[in-house]
Amino acid sequence: MKKLTIIVTLVILTITSFALPTFASDGCDATTDHLTLGRELFDVGNHDDALAIVDCGLNLNPDNYALYMLRAVIYCNTDRIELAIEDMTTAIDLRPGSAYAYNNRGWANFRLGNYEESLANLNYALELDGDLAYAYNNRGLVYQMQGDYQLAHSDFQTAIDLGLNEPWAAINLYNLEFELDRLPIES
């Protein structure tokens, strides 16, 4: 009887194991679309769960460029800028021709006040993709912080002309024009 119970238990475990999702050693579900789920959680403001999902995906696939990009964005939005820069650097190592990764690393450096490093990244992003409106907008912010208002104005306008329809793009241009209007007139 005991032998029959052990055999039946083994058969049940074998059959049910085929119905269960595949798990990696860390407990992450290997059948999950970590990028999509992480992005959805991020979009609704659930940064902690989004980060956990992305981390699971990277544990299963440590060479996934898109997951590093998403995790860097999550880090930027949770003020872990140094970690964001590390992830952008990894993304660049995985895909050296990614204008988006250079743009995002430029933005992260801007957030830290590393304006020269930011400009280097943003300029390279624009070398890779001269139509990347976000890079123009971000570079405009750097120029504005450095007091180069004409270059900032030009970049903000270019970003809008390229179709950057984000409300903050127009606000950046408006704020700069307001700032320019308040400067003393040089004679």
Task: Give the model's pLDDT for residue 184.
Answer: 64
Contact (Cβ atoms closer than 8 angstroms) between residue 66 and residue 57: no
Q: How many Å apart are CA 163 and CA 157, to the nearest integer?
A: 10
Task: Give the model's pLDDT for residue 176.
Answer: 85
Contact (Cβ atoms closer than 8 angstroms) between residue 112 and residue 120: no
The candidate with the shortest Cα–Cα distance to 50, out of 81, 30, 26, 75, is 75
Q: What is the pLDDT of residues 102-156, one digit of tens each?
A: 999 999 999 999 999 999 999 999 999 999 999 999 999 999 999 999 999 999 9
Task: List average pLDDT for each run of 10 residues in the chain, which is 187 residues long.
Answer: 51 41 56 94 96 96 96 96 98 97 97 97 98 97 96 95 86 84 63
Q: How many Å apart are CA 127 and CA 125, to the nearest integer?
A: 5
Structure tokens, 7: 């055999």
